Structure 1
Amino acid sequence: MSRESIPESLLPFIHPEIHQRAAEIIRRHSTHPRDIHEFALENLPLSGVRRVLELGCGFGRFSRELARCLSPQAELLALDSQPANQAPWEDHLSAVGRRGTFLCRCIGERLEFAAGEFDLVAASYSLYFFPAIVPEVARVLAPHGVFLAITHSRGSMRELFELAGLDPAGSPHDELLARFSAENGHHLLAPYFSEIEARPYPNRLRFDPESLPAFLEYARFKLPLLAGAGADERLLARLEDRARASLSHAGAIVIAKDDVVFTCRGPRPTRVGPAGEPPCH
C-alpha cells in the first residue's frame, strides 16, 4: 500500500492535532495498565546512549517519553515526512526540558547518515510505512546499539471493522500491517540483526455508553485506514447506529489493540555508504 492509495484529506497522520487526540483516547480507554511507550523503554540501558535517531516521529509522543530517559548529553534526531509535525514535536520535547533536531524527510530505502552513527534507532508505529529502510537501520546503528520498533498485531481493530460492516482483507489497514506487524516482524528483521526480542503488549480499547463520543472520534480517525476512499460521513453514520445498538445490547464496545515491541541488537550491515533522501516540500 502506498500513501497515494488513501485520499490526502483523509490521512489522519498529516493532522497532528487529530492524531494527538486519538492518542489520548487510546490511553484513556486502554485496558493495559501501562503506557505502551513506557513499556517499550523499560529495562533498556539508555544511560550511555549519546546519539538517537527516531524514524517517523509524528507529533512527538514517543519522542517525549524517550527524551525523559536519555542523559542530558544525548542528541536526538527525528525524521518525519510531515512538516506540520515539527512544531508539536518540538513542544513535546520542551515539555520535558529537552531539545532535538527535526528533519523533514520522505523515508524510503536510504538514510543520509554515516555507518555506526547511532546508539539507538527507534520507530514507533511507523516502520510499516517504510519497511525497506531496515537494512539501512542496521548500517547506521553502532555495533553495540539497539533498534526499537513498535507495531500492531494483524488482528487489531477487527471489532471496528465488524461494526463498520467492512472486510479487513485488502483494506489499507490490512495492507499496511502486511508490511510489518507482530506476526511477520521477526521474519523481516532477522536478516539484519543477530538478536531479536519480541515483547507482546496485549491490550483492548473499552468504551461504555458514556464514552460513545470518544469512540466515534476515534472511529473517525481510524476509518480512512479501514475503508480507504470509502471513509465518508455515511459510513460514520452507519457505524454510529451500530455502535449504539451494540452498547445497548452488550453494555460496552471492546476493540482488540494488541501490539508488540521488537528490541533488536547485533546489527548486520549490508550496505556500503549512505545516500540521503530528498527533503520534503
Structure 2
Amino acid sequence: TTEAEFLVKDLEPDTLYDFRVRALNQYGASIGDATVRVRTLTVRQDTKLGEKEDRLDREEDKIRREGKEEFNNDTVRIFLGENTLRRGLVSLTQSKYNKINSFTISIPVEFVRTNRELTIREGTLILELNLRDLYTQDVRRNDKGNKDAYVNIHIERISEGHIPRGKRLASKAYEVSFDYQYGKNTLAINKLENPAKVTLVQDKKAYPNTKNTKLYIFNREKGDYQPQSSTWANINTSGRFILLSDR
C-alpha cells in the first residue's frame, strides 16, 4: 500500500533511518516485511515539527487516560488506562470478546507501583488482586522508569480433554500467567507478593451438571488436576484452573 502513514517520535533531524514495515490486518500479520529508508528533515525544513509532536503528545495522553485495544484473530491485548484503573474493573463479557480465547491485560508499571484493587471479570473466570502485589522484587529491580514498561496478565481459554476419572467438565480450562515487559525484554513473574483470588462461576446452561462442582488446579509436577474445597482459591503464581463436577 502507498496510503499508510506513520508518525515516529524522538527522531534526530537530518538523519537517515531504515524502518522495517510489516502489514497487519484482521487476518493477522504478513509473513514478509519491507524496508523503508527515509531521511528526516532538517530543523529549518520541518516547519510542522511542533504540530506533529503536539499530536503525538495528545495521542499519548488519550491512551494514558482511556487505554487502547489491539485485536489479532482470536487474541486481544488490552492496555489499561487511568480511567479503568480508577474504577478497578475490567469486564471481558462484552460481545466483541465472544470469539477471543487469549487475553493480555497490560498495566503501565507506574500504576503497579500503587496500592490499587483490580477485578477482571470474564464471565466464568473472576480474578481479583492488588496491583502492588505484581510489583515483585524482580520487577522493582528492573524498573528504570521506562514509559513503555508494562506488567501483563495473560488469560487463555482452553478446551481441556484430560480430566480425572469420574468427573465431568463444568467449565472450560483457564491458563493465567504474569510477566513484566520493559523495552524488548520480558521477565516472568513467578510469585506474587501476596495472593490473588481466582473464582470460576459455572455456566449452568452450557454445563448443567452441578453435582459437587469444585475448582481444580492443575499440578504440573504430578500432571493432573487437584481439587480445591470450593469454586475459588487464593493463588500466588501462574496456573491452570477448571471447574469439574461428579458424574
Larger radius of gyration: 2
TM-score of the pair, normalised by structure 2 = 0.23
Normalized per residue, the structure richer in helix is 1
Tell me the TM-score normalized by structure 1. Answer: 0.21
